[in-house]
């Protein structure tokens, strides 16, 4: 079945949200709409609508004009099994002691590596993005330095790759709590936890920030992982300070190098020390101590 995408950009979250909602009233109706901030420092937002029938391009043009957006770019997509395609194309990732792979590469795990099997799916964190790899390297260094957290949380866990890495590094600690606001991500995380033999070692929860009884009661934490985006990280800084024990560490990523100073400033203001920082291309990972 062919599908179509209709994409545009606008200059504020409010306009993007309103435009995405307005698209839902089109006929033919889109099978889904969404919007997100373009993380390139341009302060622009992308709005997308996805159709199984050819969309009404005049209607899209009128909506874009009414909401001050650029004209929609409408494209017909070929019929491709994208998950299968990604599985074939993604090579294993080595990050310190970690070897992150799909099931099709299970026979390539090096001796002595800490293997994590992550299938391409509708959740962030296969290990290939620089932010995920940066967080895995940060965990690897913490373990090498003798850091041993008793209580760990992964906020915005995606596939739960970071939560599982922590559970493997510190197997005698209580279960890692892994949360995400997206129920699809939570289901994906739980499936990955089971596939990696870590049931009972990683607990997957649907929550925004620390807003779940298990997360609120599970602290104070010695380690919190958060590979999300700049603004949610900044917004979470006061909660991070409240939920971390003195001397606790946060591993932060999902941050462009041009945004790192803003995140560092927010966490310093919340009582965290100067960070260990690692830049990889356009992306930064930070480790800060309360």
- Check the CA dihedral 119-125-127-130 and report its sign: positive
> What integer pLDDT is reported at residue 37 of this predicted model?
86
Record the tokens describing residue 88, joined without a space.
């074939």
Pairing of strands 176-180, 202-206: parallel
> What integer pLDDT is reported at residue 156 of this predicted model?
94
10-residue averages of pLDDT along the chain (290 residues): 88 93 94 85 88 94 95 84 59 88 82 86 58 93 96 95 97 96 91 95 94 90 95 95 96 93 96 90 93
> What integer pLDDT is reported at residue 97 of this predicted model?
94
**Any residues with CB less than 8 A from the CB of 133 and at least 6 apart, and which?**
93, 95, 127, 280
> What integer pLDDT is reported at residue 286 of this predicted model?
96
Q: At 147, is the secondary structure helix, strand, or coil?
A: coil
> What integer pLDDT is reported at residue 122 of this predicted model?
47
Q: Which long-range contacts (CB under 8 A, 24 or more apart) does 21-28 make?
A: 22/63, 22/66, 22/67, 23/47, 23/49, 23/60, 23/63, 26/55, 26/56, 26/59, 26/60, 26/63, 27/56, 27/59, 28/52, 28/53, 28/54, 28/55, 28/56
pTM comes to 0.72
> What integer pLDDT is reported at residue 86 of this predicted model?
57
| Cα separation, 275 vs 88, whole angstroms | 37
Q: For the chain, give the longest Cα–Cα distance.
A: 62
Answer yes or no: are the C-beta atoms of 35 and 16 closer than 8 Å. yes
Question: H helices then E strands: how many in the chain?
Answer: 9, 14
């Amino acid at each position: 079945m062919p599908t179509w995408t209709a994409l545009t950009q606008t200059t504020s979250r409010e306009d993007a949200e309103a435009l995405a909602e307005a698209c839902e009233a089109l006929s033919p109706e889109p099978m889904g709409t969404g919007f997100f901030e373009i993380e390139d420092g341009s302060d622009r937002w992308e709005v997308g609508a996805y159709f199984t029938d050819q969309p009404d391009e005049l209607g899209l043009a009128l909506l874009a004009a009414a909401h001050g957006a650029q004209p929609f770019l409408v494209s017909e997509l070929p019929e491709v099994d994208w998950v299968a395609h990604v599985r074939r194309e993604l090579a294993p990732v080595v990050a310190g002691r970690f070897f992150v792979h799909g099931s099709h590469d299970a026979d390539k795990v090096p001796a002595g590596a800490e293997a994590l099997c992550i299938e391409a799916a509708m959740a962030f964190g296969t290990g290939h993005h620089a932010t995920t790899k940066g967080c895995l390297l940060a965990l690897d260094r913490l373990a090498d330095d003798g850091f041993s957290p008793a209580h760990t949380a992964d906020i915005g866990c995606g596939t739960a790759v970071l939560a599982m890495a922590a559970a493997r590094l510190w197997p005698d600690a209580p279960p890692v709590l892994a949360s995400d606001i997206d129920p699809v991500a939570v289901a994906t995380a739980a499936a990955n936890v089971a596939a990696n033999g870590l049931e009972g070692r990683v607990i997957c929860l649907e929550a925004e920030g620390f807003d779940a009884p298990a997360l609120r009661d599970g602290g104070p934490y010695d380690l919190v992982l958060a590979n999300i985006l700049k603004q949610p990280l900044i917004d979470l800084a006061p909660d991070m300070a409240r939920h971390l024990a003195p001397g606790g560490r946060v591993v932060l990523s999902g941050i462009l190098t041009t945004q790192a100073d803003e995140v560092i400033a927010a966490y310093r203001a919340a009582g965290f020390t100067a960070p260990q920082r690692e830049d990889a291309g356009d992306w930064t990972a930070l480790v800060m101590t309360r």
